[in-house]
A and B are shown apart, each in its own frame.
Chain A
Amino acid sequence: MSVLGLDPQIIVRARRAASQIAETMDGFIRQRSTVAVERTTLRLYGVDGVGADDIPLPNLFVDAAGREGLLSQGITRTLARAVAHSGRDPQTIARAIGDGQLMLANLPLIDEQEVREIGERLADEAIARIAQNRATRDAYLARYEKRPEPLHYVIVATGNIYEDVVQARTAARQGADIIAVIRTTGQSLLDFVPYGPTSEGFGGTYATQANFQIMREGLDEVGEELGRYIRLCNYCSGLCMPEIAAMGAIERLDVMLNDALYGILFRDINPQRTFVDQYFSRMINSFAGIVINTGEDNYLTTADAVEAAHTVLASQFINEQLALRCGLPEEQMGLGHAMEIDPALENGFLLELAQAQLAREVFPRAPLKYMPPTKHMTGNIFRGHIQDAMFNLIGAWTHQGIQLLGMMTEAMHTPHMGDRYLALENAQYVMNSARDLGDEIVFKPGGKIQTRAQTVLIEAAALLEKVLADGMFQTLEAGTFADVYRPFTGGKGLDGVFMRDHDYYNPLEAGLRKGLGLDPVS
């Protein structure tokens, strides 16, 4: 039952428009691939490590294929020929290409049946490996204490993965459920994934496979002691979005920031590149049982939270519909939103409550990710702590799925160890003490809260219908989301997008689609 008095017909209208937008995008995506998608495919076949100048082998391999004009057939086709020719495994082949020992131009052609036999074997192994990690997580979750929602999500951001582990383990002991390792600034614009453990970063720590593994071990160990499964989160975004999904699937991450629009709007990554990359990354996340988090909260850091509320809801609909086309179940959709209204606004709390409850009712099965105040945090840590408490109250009240806990020192520095403890204590107190509040309270029909939610929903439905009429790419060019303008051919990474040949072959994609119950790419 809707405590907001929402008209279900308007929700249907909005969802239908978003679905048609996603359908159009899906058609666009299916005709294309990117260098990142092909590198991801190699990574899942077991290619890892770096060659000369620390360039990752997946990059060296894909770049070599690109130079020979082989990429538009899909990297698997070239790899299968190399496997047939040399009898070696993908890693050895990639190493030989990186060392200049193997020239792709010299590979003999093999018949289609052999390509497919090798390709399907490699894909089956990759998919089995991901499934194994998923089963390991399921076993932990079945064995351990079930934690109440909203799960407590905190960040670590020291720049040094070993220091991050210490901070993460203290946070787990204070009650954290999810540890996110913030990435070093600038990583999203690298068109490769750095390699190995790292101890230097700015405002965060490099996302590398070794770092994922180090943190995973640290959390599994402390989780064993506490009898709780501590989830690990990272950032599946930027120019290497699908590669990071692959690394996360291999190292058993549990949560990934993975937005369809974020990179376009906030990192000026080319829209075409982002849409194709998000599709492939989300299929991997979906199959790996990873909960994705979308980034609508960021809109409100640039646009006004009262005026732009409907753009958040509209984007949630689009993210939902795109995710469904990647086989992602609703239970893995951590759709994002945030508490960013100016605290000086009279009845601002009512508007925040309306928005959070609105998201809850529109996406009833999604583990919504609720983001804390950032824009109006001032350095007055005492007021900030209260803002975070109000935020926690809404999180418990409206049954959010994941609460990214606010830090009193937001906008000052990356969280100190003590800040994190205070944030967790704040959340536990407020949420425990108000646990079932949402089941007890109904809102006044036609009152401020109901009216606000109904208005935002109507505006979101109208916006989605406009996006559908104008086209998604045109909407991004017009600055509708977050007051940011992004042209179709602008931004970074466009040169890594290519049209698939008629004989494009990617058995990994086919296997994932099959496993996720999606129709094959024709």
Chain B
Amino acid sequence: MTLIGRTGATPPDLSRVRPYGDTIDDGQIQLAFTLPVPFGEEAREAARQVLRQMGLGDPRIYHMHDLGEGYTYFIAYGRFEATIDFTSIHVAKVESSRMDFYAVNAFVREHIGRKVTILGACTGTDAHSVGIDAIMNMKGYAGEYGLERYPMFNAFNLGMQVQNEDLIAQAIEKKADALLVSQIVTQKDVHIRNLAELIDMLEAEGMRERLIVVCGGPRITHELALELGFDAGFSAGATAPDVASFVVHEMLKRKLA
């Protein structure tokens, strides 16, 4: 195996890894949290016990602050003592290769031969359009144009608080090839119910097979997306080329082109 880190530094054993503070295997983890207990030495001890019950050794409370009303805030460090076997980890990932703006459009011209119609929406009660805007809007995000700028895409950003039935109605009207659903700020896991409901409704309408359906957001993983019946899930950091590459490859693969 290749040596990782400075020459001469101890290489990690990838079958037994711990968090790294400044020395291999020191297991250092930082935490910040609030307890509903009044400020004082008892609070400090309560915070220590929280760390211990998390399996963290040598719990140290470096900062604690009285929030009032019987609440106390802590910044703490502890040592993670178990180990993780990195070599046995398998994570579901979007497999399509990432193409850039030019390559995606060339791919559509060559393999699909018509414009791809894609609808984006932030659905349910969520009023945060920042994610879907980053992917859809002309300007894009982080130096990547949004899908509205792609000449081979008909991209429609339906905005925020779009109800699933409205999204489906628009999908029928616009003859969509793909739906992008964003979920940013949600409470009590309402985004899970909302995403699952969309898939159920698409299946009830007999539309699921004809559409590429993708979701995204800071709490979405590809694995979660697959579980919920989506074709892919994108987390924070994904930009338009990631999504576009997946959609056009998937269309070809499923013979929807």
Contacts and interface: CB of A to CB of B under 8 A. Distances in A.
Contacts of B133: 301-302
Contacts of B126: 185, 203
Contact of B187 (A159, A302, A417): A159
B187 A421 contact: no
Nearest to A308: B139
A411 interface: yes
A416 interface: yes
A491 to B, nearest CB: 12
B185 A411 contact: yes
30 contacts: A159-B187, A166-B69, A169-B69, A173-B69, A174-B67, A185-B126, A185-B127, A185-B161, A186-B161, A189-B161, A202-B188, A203-B185, A203-B186, A301-B129, A302-B129, A302-B133, A375-B130, A379-B236, A411-B184, A411-B185, A412-B218, A413-B185, A416-B34, A417-B34, A417-B67, A417-B71, A417-B73, A418-B67, A418-B73, A483-B137
Contacts of B129: 301-302
Contacts of B14: none
A374 interface: yes
Contact of B67 (A170, A202, A374): A170
Interface in B123-144: 125-130, 133, 137, 139
Interface in A238-288: 266-268
Contacts of B186: 202-203
A202 B161 CA distance: 12
Contact of A170 (B32, B69, B137, B188): B69
B190 interface: yes
A455 interface: no
A51 B98 CA distance: 58
Nearest to B184: A411
A211 to B, nearest CB: 17
Main secondary structure of the interface of B (DSSP, over half): loop
Most B-side CB within 10 Å, residue of A170, A266, A412: A170
B86 interface: no
A202 B125 contact: yes
Contacts of A378: 236
A189 B127 CA distance: 12
A304 interface: yes
Contacts of A411: 128, 130, 184-185, 218
B40 interface: no
A301 B137 contact: no
B217 to A, nearest CB: 10
A154 to B, nearest CB: 13
B33 interface: yes
A475 to B, nearest CB: 19
B72 to A, nearest CB: 10
A226 B167 CA distance: 50
Interface in A193-218: 201-203
Contacts of A184: 125
A428 interface: no
B188 to A, nearest CB: 8
Given A301-B130, A302-B129, A421 B65 contact: yes
Given A304-B139, A414-B185, A203 B68 contact: no
B162 to A, nearest CB: 10
A203 B187 contact: yes
Nearest to B68: A173
Contacts of A170: 67-69, 71
Interface in A361-388: 374-375, 378-379
Interface in B20-52: 32-34
Contacts of B188: 202
Given A185-B126, A375-B130, A421 B73 contact: yes
Contacts of A302: 129, 133, 137
A374 B127 CA distance: 13
A301 B130 CA distance: 7
Contacts of B137: 302, 483
Interface in B165-224: 184-188, 190, 218
B210 to A, nearest CB: 28
Contacts of B73: 417-418, 421
Nearest to B131: A411
Most A-side CB within 10 Å, residue of B67, B125, B133, B159: B67
Contacts of A266: 160
A224 B160 CA distance: 41
A266 to B, nearest CB: 8
Given A174-B68, A201-B187, A301-B130, 13 more contacts: A184-B125, A202-B187, A202-B188, A268-B159, A301-B129, A379-B236, A411-B128, A411-B130, A411-B185, A418-B33, A418-B67, A418-B73, A421-B65
Nearest to A303: B139
A46 B227 CA distance: 53
A202 B126 CA distance: 9
A342 B2 CA distance: 38
A418 B32 contact: yes
A354 B214 CA distance: 40
Contact of B125 (A166, A186, A304, A374): A186
Nearest to A342: B142
Interface string A413-438: 11011100100000000000000000
| Smallest CB-CB A-B distances: 6 pairs | A173-B68, A185-B125, A170-B67, A418-B34, A418-B73, A202-B125
A266 B129 CA distance: 10
Nearest to A157: B187
A71 B69 CA distance: 49
Contacts of B69: 166, 169-170, 173
Contacts of B187: 159, 201-203, 414
Nearest to B67: A170
Most A-side CB within 10 Å, residue of B65, B133, B137, B187: B187
A379 B218 contact: yes
A475 B118 CA distance: 28
